[in-house]
Amino acid sequence: MFRWVGAWDGMETNINSRQTDDPFGGGEGYRPTLNSYMYADALAISHAARLLGDARKADDYAGRADGLKRRVQDELWDQARDFFFHQFARNERGGIAAKSLTYETGMYAGSPHGRELLGYVPWQFNLPDPGYEAAWKFLMDPDYFFAPFGPTTVERHDPLFFIAPRCCVWSGNQWPYATSQTLVAMANLLNNYDQDLVDRDDYYRLLRTYSLDQRLAGRPFIAEAANPDDGSWEGHNTLYHSEHYFHSSYVDLIISGLVGLRPRADDTVEVNPLVPDHWDYFALDDVAYHGRRLAIVWDRDGNRYGQGVGLSVIVDGERLVTVPTVGRLLVALPDTEREGSDVMRPHNFAAHNDGGFYPHVSASFSAPTTPPFYATDGNYWYHRLPSNRWTTVGSPNATDWIAVDFGVQRPVEAVKLYFLADDGGIAPPTDYEVQMWRDGAWTDIPRQRRHPRSAAGRRANIVRFPEIMTSRVRVVLSHAVDMASGLTELEVWGHADVPVPEPTAPIANLAMAPGPVGFPSVSASFTSRFDSLAQAVDGRVAFTRYSRNRWTAFESPNATDWIELDFDEPKTVRRIDIYLWGDEEGVTAPRDYVVETWADDRWIPVVVVDRLPQVPATWARNSVVMEPVTSRKIRVVFEHALPAVTGVTEVEVWEGQAHTGRRP
């Protein structure tokens, strides 16, 4: 079996680690979660190998999966407590013995408790053989896991049960990801096992509870953990903590669980809805499945959808079957040409969430705390906290632009603009133009079709056009009177074969651009043992509170510290952008900073033309435009706001157009 600590399994400060010398990340052991994941991985490799005709590899990985299944069932199941448990890997303080399960040894030896929600994860992958279903008698019982805004992650009367008022304690709070895992496991149980401990009404009840949990002040919200008794997100709704902690799982709970479309490898549609008996109708429409378009419709009396009475499966507009009651259906797919079998996949060529320079986004103006990288990070969030948005707040211009450079020609056929509209002085533009780069100049893309016709906030504004080839796309915005414009996301779509061609244009950011003898070297007067200097020039901007992509001077003995770039040859520099990071505790914005270049064997401050913002700010792009200077080396010297020190998630150095956005 595989072993690890609960903290790196996403379940930090759990009832096992809290019994050790490291309450946050201790208690290494063999866990039902990790070994279920590895079981599923081994099966997936086995199935893929068999499809590819590699019977030997298929049998090998099937054997590995079977071995893991046996070990999980033999070693992690406690027959006395009817549950799967964490097993300690080694002796721990307080008398905990290696290879013992939770509470079998140690301070709480003999306790009848110790159940954690992770004990249901084996069913997420259909790992257990028949005979272990007794574990499910605890899920819907308020003396164990069920709660008004639950389930809890640890059973209610456990000696270490604890509802924490802040992050990050996996000892009783409701954790949405764990809830999702449990619901997937429950759907598998209801579909693939014979038991009478839970039923589809229980599935709906838990899913409904989970759905209603996802509110804060009357608006949609989800974070890392909630109070299972009152639904509060206290301690998890602070700036840049864990907002939108969605894990992309909720839709699957509706499609494969509630509506009951059960994915299969063969050409069969399997449907087994878990909806309550009293539901008179529901519909799932236009699902891509095995190259077809699929709809599942339940209409008790036929009056809701006008598609007839009963439960129907419709494929590519053809009704394959209709039955009078809700229940399991198996329907063979028709032998027709499949949609998309030879069709290239659509790509969002603007998405930039994996480091590197391209695709590169820039703008004529950006408020310091809402730099343009937010517009291409793959997330669109309309609320103001956190500020995952690009805005022109403070711009002196009547129009501004935002542009994406792909670094290579791309086939483009659609642009999606997610305009902001809120009470913070931001409104959709009165008009906008979508342009392409052609023959060294910007020109409007011809034959555009817009939906909606005028810019609208809080929704996708889709601009379609016949496919073009271009290396850059730009959107020019005409601001509403006395208002700023903003985007939470800019997407540029087209179809292409995988892998798409790599960028070929030179890198403009001198901090990342290769020279005659390699990439620029980066050094610092001090680097925290918890951080990496290389991450300050890796193309990634990470402003989250718990970002691991950063340089900081944490624990530095100095009042000032610096980051230096050596280009190995003279470069002309006109602007430097410093993305300052902070945690509001030991790392904050510096009291001040200066930019210096190397000349005549000494460091000389640059002549500053413009600086935005004037006062250094964390979670912001701090830009300095300078009189052009040619030098082999450049550095930024930070005067720490002691006792706190400075942190940086990225430094960019530019020799091209020098603008912070103060001028058009």
**Domain residue extents for the chain:** 3-252, 270-332, 346-496, 521-654
Q: Which residues contact 308 (CB under 8 A, 6 or more apart)?
A: 299, 302, 319, 322
For the residues of 479-536, what is the DSSP string, one character each?
PPTT-B-EEEEEEEEEEEPSSPPPP-SPP--TTT--BTTBSPEEEES---TTS-GGGG
Residue 307: the pLDDT is 87
Residue 24: the pLDDT is 95
Class of domain 3-252: mainly alpha
Give CA separation, 253 vs 180, 204, 638, in Å: 7, 10, 49
Residue 656: the pLDDT is 62
The CATH number that domain 346-496 falls under is: 2.60.120.260
Which CATH homologous superfamily contains domain 521-654?
A: Galactose-binding domain-like (2.60.120.260)
Which residue is listed with tokens 């208002």?
Answer: 483
Query: Quick one: 498 exposed, middle or buried, by C-beta within 10 A (0-12, 13-18, 19+)?
Result: exposed
The answer to whether 346-496 and 521-654 have equal CATH topology is yes
Distance CA 57, CA 50 (A): 8
Residue 661: the pLDDT is 41
Distance CA 616, CA 618 (A): 7
pLDDT < 70 regions, the chain: 337-343, 656-664
Strand partners, 124: none
Local structure of 546: helix, strand or coil? coil
When the pLDDT of each residue in the chain is averaged and rounded to a whole number, the result is 94
Which residue is listed with tokens 């945690």?
Answer: 583
- Give the DSSP H/E element, type plus range, for residue 192: helix 176-192
| Confidence (pTM) | 0.84
Q: Strand order of the sheet with strand 318-323?
A: 281-289, 292-299, 310-315, 318-323
- Give the DSSP H/E element, type plus range, for residue 206: helix 200-213
Query: 3-class secondary structure for 42-106?
Result: HHHHHHHHHHCCCHHHHHHHHHHHHHHHHHHHHHCEECCCCEECCEECCCEHHHECCCCECCCCC
Cβ distance 517 to 492 under 8 Å? no
Q: Which residues contact 259 (CB under 8 A, 6 or more apart)?
A: 271, 273, 275, 282, 284, 296
